[in-house]
């Protein structure tokens, strides 16, 4: 092939004539076409091994350097894609496990919050019941104190009755003595009337009536005395029973005061427990809300991790299109020479 170039040399028009062998150009084009075809198919494992003439050898060297750079870059991308895929699988598994645990924890916290809320209501009810029991104990203490005062008044009244009975007994004893003396006087009067004969007959009748009246008075006084003695015994027994009742009421009052103190302490403790459990319930509710938010974030992270894994797999598939290592078969080395070099 001959080519003409018009130029000037030493200020005069000149023509440069070049000649080249078209077979060398065809060999270079064929080698580059084959290499680019393999490159288009993703084969980066076969550089241009057939040497070209010295004029075109830099083209082959540049192609082989570019192919090596591409092979190194694609290999690094493949390694990175595989590493990303492995890490993403681990992250995905960890995210799946974390999501499951977070969901279970959220469910457990929700159940705990519901149970604690019910416990809070129960403790609040117990606190109200303790306060009501404290009021009832105070009322019982006041009623026991009032009953003790009434018992003391009853003891005082029965003691007065017993004293009055003793005084009445003394009066009855005086009446009995008067009746006895009247009986003796009536008897003496009857004797004197009998001595007087007919003149004292009327006086004897009166003396007899007075004696009968004195005997009836003595009999009545004896009966009243017996009844007063019986009543005095019963009053003494009543005084003793009322005294025992007052002592029992004092003991009951002391026990009621003790119970009231304990109930008051229980009421205070129940109110404090109610406040503490209410605070714990609020904290559990906040933890449940945060755990649910964490569960939602874990779901989002899990979805993002799955998407990243899919993109890593896609990248690995794209890199897998390239073949980086040459097949294990003996290669053919052909050296292209110029036409002038061939014999």
166 and 291 co-located in one domain = yes
In a domain, 110, yes or no: yes
The tens digit of pLDDT for each residue in 238-247 reads: 777 877 887 8
Say which range, 14-28, 81-95, 237-251, 307-321, has the weakest mean pLDDT.
14-28
> What is the structure's pLDDT at 337?
34
Mean predicted lDDT score pLDDT of the chain: 75
* pLDDT higher than threshold 50 for residue 93: yes
For position 325, what pLDDT does the model report?
Answer: 65
> Within a domain: residue 325?
no
What pLDDT is stored for residue 1 in this prediction?
47
Nearest to 298 by CA among 145, 62, 100, 104: 100
- Quote the pTM value: 0.42
Of 162, 163, 167, residue with least CA distance to 236: 162
b/e per residue, 88-113, with b = 16+ CB within 10 A?
Answer: beebbeebeebbeebbebbeebeeeb
- Closest residue by Cα to residue 168 from 213, 214, 235, 215: 235
pLDDT-wise least confident of 12-21, 29-38, 207-216: 12-21
Is 178 found in the same domain as 34? no
Q: How many separate domains does the chain show? A: 2
Q: What was the pLDDT predicted at 3? A: 47
Angle at 107 between CA 103 and CA 111, to 5 degrees: 170
* Assigned domain for 336 exists: no
Q: Is the pLDDT reported for residue 181 higher than 50?
A: yes
Question: What pLDDT does 342 receive?
Answer: 34
pLDDT tens-place string over residues 194-226:
777 776 667 677 777 777 887 787 788 778 778
Q: Are residues 133 and 282 in the same domain?
A: yes
In this structure, are residues 43 and 277 in contact, taking their beta carbons and an 8 Å threshold? no
Provide the domain limits for residue 273. 93-319
> Is 281 a residue whose pLDDT tops 70?
yes
Give 326's pLDDT tier (boundaries 50, 70, 90).
low
Q: How far apart are CA 111 and CA 118, in angstroms?
A: 11
142 and 281 both lie in a single domain: yes
Q: Which residue, 27, 58, 86, sits at the end of a domain?
A: 86
Tokens standing for 197? 């004969």
* Alpha-carbon span 13 to 81, nearest angstrom: 63
Please identify, among 41, 68, 86, the residue that sits at the C-terminal boundary of a domain: 86
Predicted pLDDT at 341: 34
Distance of CA 230 to the CA centre of its chain: 72
- Mean pLDDT across the stretch 47-57? 80
Q: Name the percent of the chain lying above pLDDT 90.
A: 0
């Amino acid at each position: 092939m001959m080519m003409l170039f018009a130029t000037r040399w030493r200020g005069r028009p000149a023509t440069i004539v070049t000649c080249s062998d078209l077979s060398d150009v065809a060999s270079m084009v064929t080698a580059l076409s084959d290499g680019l075809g393999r490159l288009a198919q993703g084969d980066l494992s076969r550089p241009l091994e057939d040497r070209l003439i010295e004029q075109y050898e830099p083209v082959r060297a540049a192609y082989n350097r570019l192919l090596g750079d591409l092979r190194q870059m694609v290999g690094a991308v493949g390694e990175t894609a595989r590493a990303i895929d492995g890490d993403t699988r681990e992250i995905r598994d960890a995210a799946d496990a974390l999501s499951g645990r977070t969901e279970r924890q959220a469910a457990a916290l929700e159940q705990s919050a519901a149970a604690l809320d019910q416990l809070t209501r129960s403790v609040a009810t117990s606190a109200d019941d303790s306060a009501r029991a404290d009021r009832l104990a105070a009322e019982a203490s006041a009623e026991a104190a009032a009953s003790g005062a009434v018992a003391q008044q009853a003891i005082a009244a029965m003691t007065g009755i017993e004293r009055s009975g003793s005084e009445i007994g003394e009066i009855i004893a005086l009446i009995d003595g008067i009746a006895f003396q009247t009986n003796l006087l009536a008897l003496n009067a009857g004797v004197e009337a009998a001595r007087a004969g007919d003149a004292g007959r009327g006086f004897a009748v009166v003396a007899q009536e007075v004696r009968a009246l004195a005997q009836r008075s003595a009999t009545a006084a004896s009966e009243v005395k017996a009844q007063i003695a019986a009543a005095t015994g019963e009053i003494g027994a009543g005084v003793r029973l009322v005294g025992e009742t007052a002592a029992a009421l004092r003991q009951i009052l002391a026990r009621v005061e003790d119970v009231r103190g304990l109930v008051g302490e229980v009421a205070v403790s129940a109110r404090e427990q109610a406040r503490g459990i209410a605070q714990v319930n609020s904290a559990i509710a906040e933890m449940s809300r945060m755990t649910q938010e964490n569960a939602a974030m874990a779901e989002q992270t899990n979805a993002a991790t799955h998407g990243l894994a899919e993109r890593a797999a896609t990248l690995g598939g794209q890199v897998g299109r390239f073949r980086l290592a040459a097949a294990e078969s003996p290669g053919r080395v052909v050296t292209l020479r110029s036409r002038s070099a061939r014999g």
